[in-house]
Every structure is written in C-alpha cells, then in structure tokens.
Amino acid sequence: MEFRIFMKSLNDIDVKLMLCKSNFQWKLLAEKYEEASRKIEAFYGEKMPSELVDALGRVRLQLVEKKGQLPPEDILV
Amino acid sequence: MGLLKAITDAIKEKAKEEIVQYLKKIAEENAAKPAAGNKPQERHDHKPQEQRHDKPQERRDERKPYPPQERQGYDPNNKPDRNDKYDNRFDKYADKYNDKFNAPKYDNGNKYDNRNDRNDKYDNRGDRYEKNDKYDNGNKYDGGNKYDSRNDRPAYPDQKPLPKPEPRPEHRPEPKPEFKQAERPPLPKPEVKPAPAPVAAPVPVPQPRPEIRHLPPKKEEIILPLNEEPIEKVQMVVRGDDIILPYDLARLIQPLPVNEYSLYVKLYLYSYGIRKNYGYVGAGLKKSIGIDELDAAEFGRLLERLDKRGLVSLEKISEHQSTYILYLPFDEKTMKRVEEKKREEEEPPAIPAPKTEPRPAAAKNEPRPAPRGKEKEKEKTKEPEKGRDKGKGREPEKGKGKAKEPEHPAPKGRGGRGRSVSAPEPEKKQPVYEELPDEPMIPGRSNIELDDDGLMKAYRTFVSMEIDKAKMRVGRSNFDKIYMEAVKYIDKKYGFKVLSDQERFREYLTQYYISAFDIPNYDNWKKTKG
C-alpha cells in the first residue's frame, strides 16, 4: 500500500512537471520531490524497492531537464 | 390495452346475457313445473336430487344388462341359488327400479327423454360453452384448435361499435405535450426575463458607451515622450545603503500616470538592486519588482507606454523574449556604460590608470554606442546638443542629485547628455571639466578607490558582462544548451537541492560560465587591474 502511495506521489510530480512553466512552479515540484524522497528513504531505509529507486531517478532527471528548459532567470545577466 | 379492455367488456356483456337467458330458462322451467302438477308433491321435492344424480343413473342404465321390460317376466322363484342373496339384498330396491323403469313417466324437470335430446339442449347454450361443441359439431371441428373456431364465430353486434381507436387517443402522448405546452406559457420564467430586461436595459446602455469611447482613444492614443535622451545600458556601483533619485528625474516622471509611475520607480529601485539598468522582461522581472500579481498583458502594456515616453527601451530578441533598458540619468561617479566597459576590456593596455585618463574624454567625444539601434545612432549626433540644452535649463534650477552636488560642485559633462554642463558653450568647456580628477570614482577602473568588497562587486559586474558577451557570441539557442548542461552539471556535482537554492545555484552557475567561457577568475582579473 505504501509502495503504491509513493509511486503515485512520484507520478504526480512527473505529470505536473509537464505543465510546469516557471521557476516558481519548478521549485515547488522540487520541494515535493525532496519530501517524497525523504519519506521513501525513511520508510524503506536501505531496502528500497528497485522500482522506487528507478522512479526517483527518473523524476529527478526530468526535474533537472525541466530546470534547464525554463528561462534562466537565475543567471547573472 | 384498449383491445383487451374491449374484449373483457364484450365477454362481460355476453356473460350477462347468458346469465339472463339461463335465469329466464330456469324461470320458465320453474313456471312450467307447477303447470304440470299431476305429480305428487314428494316427487317434486326430490327432483333436484334426481337431477343431481342424472348422470349416475344414466351410467347405471348403460350398465344394466337387461332392459327393464325383460325384467318384468322375471320369476324370483326360478332364480339360481347362488344369486339368492344378491337378489334378496336388492329386493327392497326393486320397487324403486320398477317405478323408475316401468312406471309411467313423470316430469322430473328433465324434459328430454333420452340423453341425446338433453345434450341438444346445450347446443343452444351461450358462446362461452361453445368451446366444448367441437366434439358435437363436426363441421366446426378443426382438429382441436379451439381458438380458430372462436374466430369463426359470428361477431356480435355489440362488438362492431367497439371503439378501439377511442381509448387509444386517451393514452396517446399527444395530449400530454399539449398539456405541458399549455402549462408552459403561464410559467413565470419567460415572463420574468422580459421584466428585468427593461430594468437592466438602461444599465448596460451606458456601459458599452464608455467602452466604445475607450477603444478609439486606445487606437489613436498618442503618448508624447517625456524623455528624448538616449537610453544606454549602464552598470552602477551603489555606495552605502542609499538609493538616490535625482531631482530632475523625479520631476521628469511626476506627470506619469500612477501605474506607469509606480512601475518606473520599481524598476528604478530594482536596477539599483541588481546594479544595472537592463535585463529580461518576463515573470521573473515582475516577481522581482514586486508586481507578480499584475497581469502579464497589463505589465507589457505599461512597459510599452514607458517605452513610448522614452523612459524604457524595449527590444524584442525573440518571439517570447524581450529585454528592457531603463532610462537612468547617467552619473559618471557611480555608473559605467556597458559599451565603454567592453572596449576597455578589449583593450587591456589602455585600462591602467595613467593611460585611462584621456579615455573618458575621448569616449565622451566619440559618438556613443546605440542602445536603441539605428535610430539611436542618428539621434546621438543631435541628442548631445539637446541634452546639453536641457542641462543648461535644468542645472541652474535643480542641479543634480542632492548627494552628488556637494561632492562635485562642477560635475563633468555626462558624455553626450551634457546635463551636468552648465556653461553655454559645453563643447569648448568639456575637456576642461573632463580633465578634472574624478575618474578614480568610475567603477571598473584599476585606480578605483575600492576595498575588497567593492573590487569583488566590480569583478561580478565584469563577469556578468562577459557572460553577456558570450551569450551574444554563441547565440541564444546555444546559450540555452549551455545553460541546460550547466544545470545538469550542478545537479551531479552539488546535488539536487542546490537547484532549488537560488543563491547557491547562481553562484555555481556563474562558476560554470566562468570556466565555460574562459572568463578570468578573480585573482587573474585582480592582477590585470593592478
């Protein structure tokens, strides 16, 4: 049951990331991802299911790619 | 349903008729019995029982092996012995049998002498019993299908007028919608609508009018420029915590509408916050200046109006991105033009302090770079004169920024703008003022009196400009790719959390750009600055 909840939270982030259009939204999603990751690690510890590990890596990669696609408001220019 | 109802009604009527006929017959029979009254009363009393036992008697008649006439010559004395008991046993009934079979017939209510005659009576029965006649009437026998024989029977006259279509229209749905339609008109809904309409009619009438009035002015809106001076990209150094708003500028923007005024002031303060007067237009800018809730369209409209007023220069670099340059009264003490800075960086030997002294004058005398494109270049030749003229008019009245005046009682000319020049012949006097020792205050110079913090700020400005240059050099799309690679690199090296931390991300991103675009680091840059 917890596994499904965790997977759903990660999938939600994945879906919402497709609609993300600003750095502010991205930041919120990143915070959600970090919270989900922290909960998963706290729940499973070292014995984290491989599917969750894959999902975490996938969502993280997509978050990073999205960050790169967003307008670079953080640069000094 | 109507058909079934009609059939049931017809059956009921038939049953009634048959019952009436049957009762009449019974009544006739009852009436005929007393007329035939030769019979004793006792017999008459037993008649129902005999009628009730008609069938058993008939069966007995059929079973009887000997007719009663043969029985008349019977001698009881000659009977066989073995039947004695039997005969004796029925002796007591013998009279009855004799009476029944031998005695003269009496009217027991059964008018028919034999069974066949009695069955004929039932041929006249009602239709409801006709189903049993299939065995009696050979012509109508259809092999046991009684329903076919029913259909062959003659129709009753009462059935003909059966109004089959009459009940149907009662159940047809046609009258229902008619009934509803009849109800609908009295409903208040359609009537209510017209009622408020006249009430609301006068209200909307004035509403569209102002809209119509507003539209043409929008199209024909002519915004006269408040400022005709060129707008340049500058970078400034902020000393202390104060942000100075020159009096001239305050008076210049005073006639602005509230929205434009507030937007300009916000941009002004923001420019001092980021130490430059240019940047990208977008949600980030809105958020940074504290008007995140303002609609993007409205924000763009206000910027366009400021652009028309000459207080902001908008430049569209792509379909979805544009940049802005905010007009700032140039102050040589705290500001540095980006173009000049670039030139200085391109010519490193000219940067040292002793050699840089004539440069500002030369730079000021040279035609300025065009921040607004070709139009600005054309204006440059004229604007310096205009600016000087303006400066002539304004200087004696207002002077410059309050904080700057005491430090520089005779401020140098602002390059082509000439605001600070108070002499009637600025071109002749410019070199005189330019030679005055104010250059060390220009940021970015090697002989700037800056402490380490100031130097670091100058270095940051330098890096920012280098990144600007690199962006223009590699192109927007390539720069975006580099940005994406930088994000991935930062994620791998410093972790995902850094991406959410704006300050740290900015720091690491700058480091990435420094290494990617071969920008000298702080130590090397410091060495070059001497």
DSSP structural state of residue B411? P
Q: What pLDDT is stored for residue B388 in this prediction?
A: 39
- CA A56 to chain B, closest CA, distance in angstroms equals 12
Contacts of A58 in chain B (CB under 8 A): none
Average pLDDT over residues B420-426: 37
Residue in chain B nearest A69 by alpha carbon: B484
* Contact between A30 and B499 using a beta-carbon 8 Å cutoff: yes
Mean pLDDT of the B229-257 span: 82
Contacts of B506 in chain A (CB under 8 A): 74-76
User: Read out DSSP for B13-41?
Assistant: HHHHHHHHHHHHHHHHHHHHHHHTTTS-H
Residue labelled with tokens 């046991």: B144
Q: What does the alpha-carbon distance between residue B25 and residue B345 come to, in Å, rounded to a whole number?
A: 140
Q: Which of B126-140, B278-292, B476-490 has the lowest mean pLDDT?
A: B126-140
Q: How confident is the model at residue A59 (pLDDT cuts 50, 70, 90)?
A: very high
Binned at pLDDT 50, 70 and 90, residue A69 comes out as confident
Q: Give the pLDDT of residue B16.
A: 92
Per-residue pLDDT at B121: 56
Q: How far from chain centre, in Å, is Cα A1?
A: 20
Q: What is the pLDDT of residue B377?
A: 41
Q: What is the mean pLDDT of residues A67-75?
A: 74
Q: Which residues of chain B does A71 touch, with a Cβ-Cβ cutoff of 8 Å?
A: 280, 282, 284, 321
State yes or no: pLDDT of B152 exceeds 80: no
ipTM surpasses cut 0.90: no
Residue B445 pLDDT > 80, yes or no? no
Instruction: Give the model's pLDDT for residue B397.
Output: 38
Q: Which residues of B touch A24 (CB under 8 A)?
A: 283, 287
pLDDT at B243: 80
A45 close contact with B: CB closer than 8 A: no
Question: How many A/B residue pairs have CB atoms within 8 Å?
Answer: 67
Averaged pLDDT for residues B19-37: 80
Chain centroid to CA B5: 53
pTM for the model? 0.30
B164 has pLDDT over 50: yes
Q: Which residue of A has its CA nearest to B502?
A: A74
**Residue B435: what pLDDT?**
37
Residues linked to residue B316 through DSSP beta bridges, in sequence order: B322
Contact A77 B464 (CB under 8 A): yes
CB of A6 within 8 Å of a chain B CB? The answer is no
**In this predicted structure, what is the pLDDT of residue B183?**
47
A63, B232, B337, B368 from B356: Cα distances, Å: 49, 21, 15, 18
The pLDDT > 70 percentage for chain A reads: 94
Residue B242: pLDDT band with limits 50, 70, 90: confident
List all residues 6 or more positions away from A9 whose beta carbon is below 8 Å from its beta carbon. A32, A36
Contact between B148 and B142 (Cβ < 8 Å): yes
Maximum average pLDDT range among B71-75, B79-83, B452-456: B452-456
Q: Do B496 and A31 touch (CB under 8 A)?
A: no
Distance CA B394, CA B23 (A): 134
pLDDT band at B347; cut points 50, 70, 90: low
Contact criterion met (CB below 8 Å) for B384 and B417 = yes
- Give the lowest-confidence range in A57-61, B28-32, B230-234, B401-405: B401-405
Q: Place A74 in a pLDDT band, splitting at 50, 70 and 90.
A: low
Question: Which pLDDT does position B286 carry in this prediction?
Answer: 85
Whether B483 sits inside 8 A of A24 (CB atoms) is no
Q: How far is A6 from chain B (nearest CA, A)?
A: 19
HEC string of chain A equals CHHHHHHHHHHHHHHHHHHCCCHHHHHHHHHHHHHHHHHHHHHHCCCCCHHHHHHHHHHHHHHHHHHHHCCCCCCCC
Residue B500 Cα, gap to closest chain A Cα (Å): 6
Residue B414: its pLDDT value, please? 39
Tens of pLDDT, residue by residue over A5-18, are 888 888 889 898 88
The mean predicted confidence, pLDDT, of chain B is 64
Residue B481 pLDDT > 70, yes or no?
Answer: yes
Query: What mean pLDDT comes out for the span B349-372?
Result: 40
**Which candidate in A23, A67, A69, A70 is best for mutational testing of the B interface (most B CBs within 10 A)?**
A67
Least confident of A39-48, B338-347, B357-366: B357-366
- Average pLDDT rounded to a whole number, residues B10-16: 91
Which residues in chain A have Cβ-Cβ distances shorter than 8 Å to B282?
A: 71, 73
Contact B496 A34 (CB under 8 A): yes
- The answer to whether residue A67 neighbours chain B at the CB level (below 8 Å) is yes
pLDDT in tens, B265-306: 898 888 888 888 888 888 888 888 888 888 888 888 888 888
**Mean of per-residue pLDDT scores for chain A:** 85
CA-closest candidate to residue A30, choices B502, B499, B490:
B499
Query: Per-residue pLDDT averaged across B460-470, rounded?
Result: 84
- pLDDT above 70: residue B62: no
Query: Chain A contacts of B284, Cβ < 8 Å?
Result: 23, 71, 73
